C-alpha cells in the first residue's frame, strides 16, 4: 500500500504536466517536451502495474506444508494435578524417567509404567518449591530454576542450575557443585579449574560417554565447553541401578 501511494505521488505531477504539454502548439521545444512527458508517463504506469502484479502473486502463494497423519497423542502424566511443571525429561537405562521441574526447582523420578495415576517421587529439592543454592542431602538441597540434566554411566545426575550459573551433581554422596556457582564475583565466561569457572545464565549439559565428558552448551556465551569427568563414572556397568 505504501509503495502504491508513493507511485501515485510521482505519477500525478507527470499527468498534470503531460496534460499541459499536450496543448496545441507549433514550437519545436513544445513537441520535444511533450514527447518526454509521454515517455515518462508510460514508464511510470508500467512500474505501477508491476507492483500490483508482485503483490498479487505474494498473497496467493500456497503454504509449503506436508502433513503426515497416522499418529495418536495421549497424556501419560498430568503435572497440573500434582503441582509439578515438567521442563526436561531424561530416560534412565531401566526405563524410569527423571522429570526436572524448573519452575519449582525440583527433580522427580517416576516409574516406567506411565499413567495418569502414577505419582513421581522427589529426588532433590523441596516439596514447597523453594529455590536456592544448597548442597548436601538431596531432600535438603536447593536449586535455582534449573533447565537441563544429564546422566552418566554410573547413574550420577548432572544438573544445569542456570540461575545459580552452576553445574550440580547428584550421586550416592548427595548433591554437590562441580563447576561455577560464583556468579556474584564477576565474569560470565571463564575456563580453567572448576571452582573458578564461570557460565552464563542460559546453558544445558550433555553427557558424552565416548569421551567421558560433560558438554556444556553455553548459549549465553555462544560457546560449547567441556568438562572431563572421572573415569569410574564413565566405565561403570549398569547393575546396581539408580543411586536413589
Q: What is the pLDDT of residues 2-11, one digit of tens each?
A: 555 455 455 5
d(CA 73, CA 84): 20
More confident residue, 32 or 114: 114
Query: Could you tell me what percent of the chain has a pLDDT over 90?
Result: 52
Would you say residue 221 has pLDDT above 90? yes
Mean pLDDT confidence for 220-242: 79
- Placement of cell 496467493 in the chain: 60
d(CA 39, CA 18): 10
Query: Could you tell me what percent of the chain has a pLDDT over 70?
Result: 71
Crossing angle of helices 2-21/28-59, nearest 10°?
160
Q: What are the residues whose beta carbons fall under 8 Å from the beta carbon of 92, sequence distance 6 or more?
A: 98, 151, 155, 242
Would you say residue 80 has pLDDT above 80? yes
Q: What are the Cα distances from residue 121, in Å, to 20, 34, 44, 108? A: 88, 89, 73, 5
| DSSP bridge partners of 124 | 107
pLDDT of residue 61: 72
Q: What is the pLDDT of residues 44-70, one digit of tens each?
A: 667 766 665 554 555 567 788 989 999
Would you say residue 135 has pLDDT above 80? yes
> Which of 110, 107, 112, 76 is CA-nearest to residue 94?
112
pLDDT band (50, 70, 90) for residue 42: confident
| DSSP bridge partners of 148 | 160
> Which of 220, 215, 162 is CA-nearest to residue 188?
220
d(CA 206, CA 147): 12
Q: Supply 63's cell numbers.
A: 503454504
More confident residue, 58 or 42: 42
Mean pLDDT confidence for 132-140: 95
pLDDT band (50, 70, 90) for residue 113: confident
Q: What is the pLDDT of residues 141-199, one digit of tens each?
A: 999 999 999 999 999 999 999 999 999 999 999 999 999 987 666 568 999 998 899 99
Please identify, in words, the CATH class of the domain defined by 79-234.
mainly beta
Taking a C-beta distance cutoff of 8 angstroms, is the pair 121, 82 a contact?
A: no
Q: What are the residues whose beta carbons fall under 8 Å from the beta carbon of 96, sequence distance 6 or more?
A: 109, 110, 111, 112, 242
> Which of 175, 102, 106 is CA-nearest to residue 138?
175
N- to C-terminal Cα distance for the chain?
Answer: 65
Give the count of alpha carbons within 13 A of 186, CB side only: 0
> Which of 193, 206, 203 is CA-nearest to residue 158?
206
Amino acid at each position: 500500500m505504501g509503495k502504491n501511494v508513493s507511485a501515485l505521488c510521482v505519477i500525478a505531477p507527470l499527468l498534470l504536466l503531460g496534460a499541459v504539454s499536450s496543448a496545441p502548439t507549433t514550437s519545436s521545444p513544445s513537441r520535444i517536451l511533450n514527447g518526454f512527458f509521454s515517455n515518462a508517463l508510460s514508464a511510470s504506469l508500467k512500474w505501477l502495474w508491476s507492483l500490483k502484479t508482485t503483490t498479487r502473486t505474494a498473497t496467493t502463494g500456497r503454504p509449503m506444508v506436508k502433513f503426515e497423519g497416522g499418529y495418536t497423542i495421549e497424556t501419560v502424566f498430568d503435572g497440573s494435578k500434582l503441582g509439578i511443571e515438567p521442563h526436561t525429561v531424561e530416560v534412565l537405562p531401566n526405563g524410569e524417567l527423571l522429570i526436572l521441574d524448573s519452575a519449582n526447582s525440583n527433580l522427580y523420578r517416576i516409574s516406567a509404567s506411565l499413567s495418569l495415576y502414577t505419582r513421581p517421587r522427589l529426588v532433590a529439592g523441596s516439596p514447597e518449591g523453594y529455590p536456592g543454592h544448597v548442597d548436601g542431602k538431596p531432600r535438603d538441597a536447593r536449586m535455582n530454576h534449573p533447565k537441563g540434566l544429564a546422566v552418566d554411566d554410573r547413574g550420577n545426575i548432572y544438573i544445569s542450575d542456570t540461575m545459580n550459573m552452576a553445574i550440580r551433581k547428584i550421586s550416592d554422596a548427595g548433591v554437590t557443585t562441580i563447576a561455577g556457582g560464583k556468579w556474584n564475583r564477576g565474569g560470565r565466561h571463564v575456563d580453567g579449574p572448576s571452582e573458578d569457572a564461570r557460565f552464563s545464565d542460559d546453558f544445558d549439559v550433555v553427557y558424552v560417554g565416548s569421551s567421558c565428558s560433560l558438554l556444556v552448551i553455553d548459549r549465553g556465551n555462544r560457546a560449547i565447553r567441556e568438562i572431563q569427568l572421572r573415569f569410574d563414572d564413565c566405565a561403570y556397568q549398569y547393575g546396581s541401578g539408580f543411586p536413589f
